[in-house]
Structure 1
Amino acid sequence: MPNRSFLPLALLIALTPPAFAQEQASPSDPQAPAGAAPEVPNADALFTAFVQSLRPRALAEGIKPATFDRETAGLTFNPRVIRADRGQPGGPATAAQGPLDFAPYRRSHVDQAHIVKGRRLYNSLADNLARFERETGVPGKVALSIFGEETGYGSFTGSYDLLRSFATLAYDGRRRELFTAEFIATLKLIDKGFTRDELKGSWAGATGYPQFLPSTYLRLAIDGDGDGKADIWTSTADALASIAAYLREAGWKPGTPWGVAATVPNDFNRDSVKSPLVSPRCPRVHARLSRWLTIAEWKAKGIMVAGFPGPADGELASLIEPDGPGQTAYLLTSNYRVILDYNCSNFYALSIGVLADEVARQTQAMPAADAAN
C-alpha cells in the first residue's frame, strides 16, 4: 500500500477503522440512523468553550482572527453527525470468510445508467482526460469512474455544513486531532474565498465532486479548466484533474491496468496462494487478496486472463474471487491498491475498475456522435 501522509477522501468518508474493514463502500451522504442523540450535560456551553479553545491553534496556522470569530459565532453541535458516526457498521478487524457476493453490488453500481452517463462525459471531455493522463499517468477513464461512483457524476455531494460537522466530531473526541485539523483546514478554505454555502459535504466532511477532505483539497486540488481556480464543487474538469492528482500521489503506476478478469480452474489450490501478510490498514479488505505472483506465474498455475487489456506477463498481481469459486475472478495489480487508498473497500475498488473499462469499451465501440448521446 502506498505510503500516505494524508487520509483518503472518500472516506474517509467514514473514518472509523471498523467501517474501513467492511467490504461495502459507504455512501457519500448517509442518512443518520434513528435513535436518540447523545446527551451531554451543559452541551451548548461545553461545545462553545471547546470551539473557542481552538482559536489559538487556528490563528497560529494562519487563520485570520476575523474569519475564526465570524464563522464560529453561533456554531452549534450537530447530534445527527454523531448518530451517523456511531451508527456505522463494524466488526472485528479480522479476515472475513466466504465470498463477497460482489455481483449484486456490481449490478447496481456498474449499471447502464452509470455507463451511459460516463460514456457521454468520456467523449465530451476526451481532450481534458487525455491531458490529465499525460500529466499524471492516471487513465482518464479511472478518474471519471471515481467521479461517477463518488457523487453520481456530480449529482449528489452532501448537504452537511463542513465547519459544523468537523467541530462536532472533534468535540466528540474519538478522533479529535484528525477532525480538529480538518476544522482548521476548512477555515483555510474560507480564507481562500470559498463560502460556507459552498463548503457542504457528507456528515464526515467529504466534499465536492471527488469527495475530498479539506486537507486533501489543500494538498492536491488542481485547476483543470485553466480558469485560475481549483473548484471541485462545480467544475468537472477541476474534479477530474484533482482525482488524477490524488491517484498519482497514492502511487499509480502509469501504463499498467488496475486488473483484469480471469478464470480459475476447478482444481486450483487456493491455500497455496494465501497471503501471509496482514495489512495495517483495513485488514479485512486486504485479507481477501492473495499473495503476489507475476501474471506469467498465475498463467502457469492454470489461471486464464479473460479480459483485455491484460497486464504484462512480468507484472505482479494478486487474485480475488469476489463471488466465490466458479465465478469471475480478477488479477489485481498494484494500481488496484491505489484505488483502495481512495476508498478501502473491495466492492468499491472493483466497481471503479470494471466501470472504467466498460465506459471506455462502449465508447470505443461506437462512433463519436453516438457516444455523445
Structure 2
Amino acid sequence: MMLRALALLMVVTCLPAVAGAVDRAAVETQYQRWLEQTVWPQARAKGVSRGTFERAFKGVTLNWKLPDLVPPGTQARTPEDQFQAEFGSPARYFGGNKLESATSVGRVMAKRYAGVLAAAEAATGVPGRIVLAVWGRESGYGRVAIKYDAFEVLGTKGFMSTRAGYFTEELIAALQIAEAGHAPGGGMKSSWAGALGQPQFMPSRYLQFATDGDGDGKADIWNSEADTIASIARYLEHFGWVPGRDWGFEVRVPASVSCALEGPDQGRPIADWAEMGVTRVSGRPFPEHELRGEGYLMMPAGRKGPAFIVTPNFYVLKKYNESDLYALFVGHVGDRIQYGMKDFRGDWGRVGGLKRSDVAAMQRALVDMGHDVGGADGLAGFKTRRSIGRWQAEAGSAQTCFPEASMKKALVR
C-alpha cells in the first residue's frame, strides 16, 4: 500500500542470517551493559535524567526481527548476500491503487485542513499539495499504525546493526525528546527503522524540525495533524524549497537528445531543453517563469519509461527520501490532488527482473571501464543509468540507459 508495507516486507525478508548461531542470552547481557556504560553517559551529557532513562528502557529487550543486525561475534552479510533480492521495474512503485488512494484521501485532507495548509505555505513557501503528498506517502495521512517501541528499535540497531553509530546518535536524540516531555503519554512509537510520528522523522530530525502548528505549545507529530503539516513544510523549507517553482514536468525526449544527459550535475535552463526539442507531454509550453530556471533530465527507467524535466525542488523532495521514485511519487500525487492529473502519459516498459547482484556486477564492470556509477550497490541510480547510456554509445548501440539482462554477458566477462 505505502512505504510502511514495503518496510514490513523488508523486516520479514531480511532477518539476520547469523541469528540462529548466536547465544542470545549472552548478547542480551552485553546489551544491558552497553546501555549502562555507553548510552547512559552520553544521554546524561545531553541533559537526560536518570528517571527518563530508566522509564525508556523498562522492560525493553533486543528485537531480533529487525533487518541488518550484526550481533557481537558475527560479521555483516557480504554484499553478494545482500544483493540477491530482485531489482524490479520502477513501474512497481506506482502500481496497484497506491496513487489513487493517496490522491483521493489527499483531496479530503486538502479540504479538511485548508486553513492549516495555507498557513504553512505562507510561512514556508512550500505548497500545500506537496505537504499533503509527503504526509500521505509517509503514514497514509496518519491512518497507518505506528506500532514499534522507539527505544527497542533504536537500542537494538544502535547496539548491533550495520549503522550502529548512526542509530546510537538517534537513540540519544529520542531520549532528549522523552526528557522534554514531547512524546505522547502512551510511549514513543516509531517505525521499524526508528522514524517517529505521522511525518516519520528520525529523532534528530524531530529536534530540528518539529513545529507547533495548532498553537497549543507542543509539537505533537503523533496526534496533531496541524503539527504534522507545519513540521513537513518546515523540513522542506530548510532544505531549500524554492517558492514559486514547480517540482517538474513529464516530457517527451526526442532521439536526438541523449538519455546520458540525465542528472542534477548536468542541468541547464529549461528554455535550452525546449530548444533541444524536449516538450511537455500535455502539449502545453513550459511556464514562462520556469524557462530561465535550471532544469534537469530525469529518466527513471531510461528510454523504457516516462521522462521528466525536474527542478531543484525535486532534489529537495529527495532530502526526505533519497529515492528518485519517492520524489517522483510525491510530486505526482501532489499534482493529482490539486490539478486532477491522471497517470503518467509515458508507458513503463518491461524492464527489471534482474538480481541486484547482477546489476552490481554490471556496475563493477562499468567502473573498470572508467565510468562513475555512484557505487556498485545493485541499484540503478542516475549515475548508473547514464553510464550504461555512455557505454552503449561507445559501443555503437542504441542508448537505453537502463540495465537489462542482455547487457550482462557483454559487460561481465
Structure 2 length-normalised TM: 0.70
Deviations 1:171-194 (A, max 9, x none): 115323221221121112222222
Cα 1:45/1:351, change in 2 over 3 Å: same
- Give the corresponding residue for 1:3: none
8 A Cα contact 2:262 2:297, kept in partner: no
8 A Cα contact 2:124 2:237, kept in partner: yes
Is 58-67 or 32-41 further displaced after alignment? 32-41
Cα 1:209/1:28, change in 2 over 3 Å: farther
Cα 1:145/1:109, change in 2 over 3 Å: farther
Deviations 1:91-144 (A, max 9, x none): 59xxxx9xx843342233653222111111112211111110110111111010
- Give the corresponding residue for 2:188: 199
What value does the CA root-mean-square deviation take over the aligned residues?
A: 3.1
8 A Cα contact 2:299 2:305, kept in partner: yes
Cα 1:312/1:90, change in 2 over 3 Å: farther
Q: Secondary structure at the match of 2:296?
A: strand
- Give the corresponding residue for 1:368: none
Deviations 1:253-297 (A, max 9, x none): 1111011111112333334x255xxxxxxxxxxxxx671011000
| 1:150-189 pair list within 5 angstroms | 150-172=138-160, 174-189=162-177
Cα 1:243/1:26, change in 2 over 3 Å: farther
Q: Secondary structure at the match of 2:95?
A: helix
Q: Secondary structure at the match of 1:242?
A: helix
> 1:251 and 1:118 mapped to 2: Cα distance?
24
8 A Cα contact 2:68 2:161, kept in partner: no
- Give the corresponding residue for 2:7: 27
Q: Secondary structure at the match of 2:96?
A: helix
Unpaired segments of 5 or more residues in structure 2? 71-75, 342-413
Amino acid paired to 2:95 = R
- Give the corresponding residue for 1:121: 109
> 1:142 and 1:191 mapped to 2: Cα distance?
32
Q: Secondary structure at the match of 1:44?
A: helix
- Give the corresponding residue for 1:55: 40
8 A Cα contact 1:231 1:238, kept in partner: yes
8 A Cα contact 1:30 1:202, kept in partner: no
> 1:144 and 1:237 mapped to 2: Cα distance?
11
Shift of 1:28: 7.3
> 1:248 and 1:315 mapped to 2: Cα distance?
18
> 1:28 and 1:247 mapped to 2: Cα distance?
26
8 A Cα contact 1:266 1:326, kept in partner: no
| 1:79-90 pair list within 5 angstroms | 79-82=64-67
Q: Using CA pairs below 8 Å that are at least 6 residues apart, which structure has the higher relative contact order? A: 1
> 1:353 and 1:180 mapped to 2: Cα distance?
33
> 1:342 and 1:147 mapped to 2: Cα distance?
11
Note if 1:255 corresponds to 2:244: yes
8 A Cα contact 1:157 1:211, kept in partner: no
Amino acid paired to 2:291 = D
- Give the corresponding residue for 1:332: 310
8 A Cα contact 2:69 2:157, kept in partner: no
- Give the corresponding residue for 1:294: 269
- Give the corresponding residue for 2:201: 212
Unpaired segments of 5 or more residues in structure 1? 1-9, 14-24, 276-288, 364-373
Note if 1:225 corresponds to 2:214: yes
Q: Secondary structure at the match of 1:81?
A: coil
> 1:352 and 1:226 mapped to 2: Cα distance?
28
